[in-house]
Structure 1
Amino acid sequence: MSAEPTPPNDTYSYLGPAGTFTEAALAQVPEAAGKHWRSVNNVGEALDDVVAGRSTAAMIAIENSIEGGVSATQDALATIPDLRIVGEYLVRVNFVLVARPGTTLADVKVVNAHPVAYAQTHLWLDRNLPSHGHIPATSNVAAAASLLDPSTISGAGMADAAVAPPGIVGHYDLDVLATDIGDNSNAVTRFVLVSRTVAVPERTGSDKTSIIAELPDDTAGRLLEMLEQFATRGVNLSLIESRPIGDELGRYRFVIDLDGHIRDERVAEALLGLKRFSPNVIFLGSYPRADKLSIEVTNRYADDSFLEARQWLDGLIG
């Protein structure tokens, strides 16, 4: 008798296999505890699970404190409709260098590593393995797992070691050659939990709103006009990155995170102004901040100030 398929509302997708930083982020989601976690190979597959209804949500990396925004995630959120960010989670990132049992650091000539992990460890690698070569991997765990693949162990040019997450030896029979090889001990990756379009949650006082917007044309000053929609209403931007739209050279969309909730008067006013200005605005969600920091604004940008100004105008019209 075949096993019954796991219901979509009991399934969460994440970039696998087991042991990745993405899995560590998903472990922070209370609603995912005890549910089925579906390991996928890339961001596109994770979001396709959500759109197709195979999963209730997907955990994906969106920003790193060292490398900036994750372009694959930003582009996917810009082009796949009906998605909503429902939460963000932070994972401190560090790495170990692992190898097959019996390998020493002096034996390492080629290192397997995910490109982002390699970028965050290349100073250590250059200093300790100055002549090493690099083979890109699809994930940090896949880099480690490849060392034990029988088809590659004896292959010419295959890796002797891999950059992997701490704790990898709990999943694979590997030796740790070095720990804490990250070039920045404060490195953090920000993950977001993405679901289908849902009702916007209530404000917490410690919220973030994510949007994507395009400029109407490339006339001088257009970017300034867009930024003024936020500045004149006291809305702080915690992230702004440009990504090519792809239809022609010189056309870009902007991925923006702003402090506050769509139900905050200042945020709502800014988004209304942006909608009048931009030919395409994508609302990705308002959700609690991972750091729980309260958003402080001056009195003139508080909700009461906007409401009083509107009442004053209504009085003039009345």
Structure 2
Amino acid sequence: MSAAPDSTPAYSYLGPVGTFTWEAMRQVPDAEGAVWRSVANVGEALDDVMTGRSVAAMIAIENSVEGGVSATQDALATIPGLRIIGEFLVPVNFVLVARPGTRIEDVRVVSAHPVAYAQCRRFLESAIPSHGHIPAASNVAAAAGLLESTLAEAAVAPPGITDHHELEVLAEGIGDNPNAVTRFVLVSRTLGLPERTGADKTSVIVELPDNAPGRLLEMLEQFATRGVNMSLIESRPIGDALGRYRFVIDLDGHVRDERVADALLGLKRFSPNVMFLGSYPRADQQQIEVVSQYGDDVFTDARAWLRGILDGGAPA
């Protein structure tokens, strides 16, 4: 991304150029023409947002193979004032690259980001049975490192890496799961909510009030009794004692949907700590199907009925 005047907004992403996070950033219309700040980790990206160096940061939050990204989930749970304003999906596949002239038979050590290495293990163990592994900070850093060091003969990298570095592809499509997808979220300090689209997602982090039997069920009932589907629920240790966990939850719907708003009110009454992370359009644009008994009008009619009773009106 070319340089821009100081007044141009900046966006942070896990770099360098060519990473999957960079690919996700390319999907953000508002980032076109902005300054893109390449950072080394999630903490640095979110610090850019908190300090105002960037208006938003793109971070990976979930992978269809590995599950939730714990570093991202923990950061969102411990840094107040952040909001998710969008999500983006990037298909994840890998190629094996090497310095020009290298054959796959020459490879003894492979450099790769630990997550990428885990997702290519089947191919690597088959094609290079006795190889060693050097962890890299990112998929692109693994490839770029081949031109700076001879510690590894090959690297696991994203497709298109040869557009940015003078390397040769030894093998394509080396990922164990051809359907792997990583979900990224754009995080900002903007408190305004994106408008409802009918294809929305709401993210929260919730703590249980105590470890009494049935507490998890009580939390889940806040959603079930209002017809709110959860598309993700994962536990993460709070860190203050063994056995204490918080839950990262994605809900189908927007906080302006009556059923979602009512569920969050119930959740707030139940939990000592609820963090609202945002309501935003789903990346897949899939419309949320709502059972008629949980439509907005049902909730508004119920409130009107109760208001009439409280105001002394005739029973309906």
| TM-score interval for Structure 1 and Structure 2 normalised by the shorter chain | over 0.9
After superposition, give the CA deviation of every residue in 1:150-170 in whole Å (9 maximum; x if it has no partner).
xx32xxxx2111000001011
Which of 270, 283, 305 pairs up with 1:290? Answer: 283
Matches within 5 A, 1:10-159: 10-149=9-148, 152-153=149-150, 158-159=151-152
The alpha-carbon distance between structure 1 residues 238 and 4, as it changes in their structure 2 partners (threshold 3 A), is closer
Contact kept, 8 Å, 2:4 with 2:34, in 1: the verdict is no
SS of residue matched to 1:6? coil
**Matched residue type, 1:181:** I
Shift of 1:308: 1.3
Q: Which residues of structure 2 form unaligned runs of 5+? A: none
Shift of 1:4: 9.0
Shift of 1:197: 3.4
Shift of 1:110: 1.1
Match of 1:313 in 2: 306
**Matched residue type, 1:280:** N
Pair 1:164 & 2:181 matched: no
**Matched residue type, 1:66:** V
Pair 1:221 & 2:214 matched: yes
**Matched residue type, 2:281:** P
Distance 1:159 1:232 in 2: 55
Contact kept, 8 Å, 2:10 with 2:53, in 1: the verdict is yes
After superposition, give the CA deviation of every residue in 1:20-62 in whole Å (9 maximum; x if it has no partner).
0100000000000011111000000000000000001000100
After superposition, give the CA deviation of every residue in 1:73-132 in whole Å (9 maximum; x if it has no partner).
000000111111000000011000001111111111111111111111111111111111
Contact kept, 8 Å, 2:4 with 2:35, in 1: the verdict is no
RMSD across aligned positions (CA): 1.2
Contact kept, 8 Å, 2:95 with 2:170, in 1: the verdict is yes
SS of residue matched to 1:135? strand
**Matched residue type, 2:21:** T
Match of 1:233 in 2: 226
Matches within 5 A, 1:128-277: 128-149=127-148, 152-153=149-150, 158-277=151-270
Q: Which residues of structure 1 form unaligned runs of 5+? A: none
Instruction: List 4+ stretches of structure 1 deviating above 4 A.
Output: none
Shift of 1:213: 0.4
Contact kept, 8 Å, 2:142 with 2:155, in 1: the verdict is yes
**Matched residue type, 2:114:** P
SS of residue matched to 2:49? helix
TM-score (norm 1): 0.95
Shift of 1:315: 2.4
TM-score (norm 2): 0.96
Match of 1:6 in 2: 6
After superposition, give the CA deviation of every residue in 1:200-222 in whole Å (9 maximum; x if it has no partner).
12211110000000011111111
Distance 2:299 2:266 in 1: 14
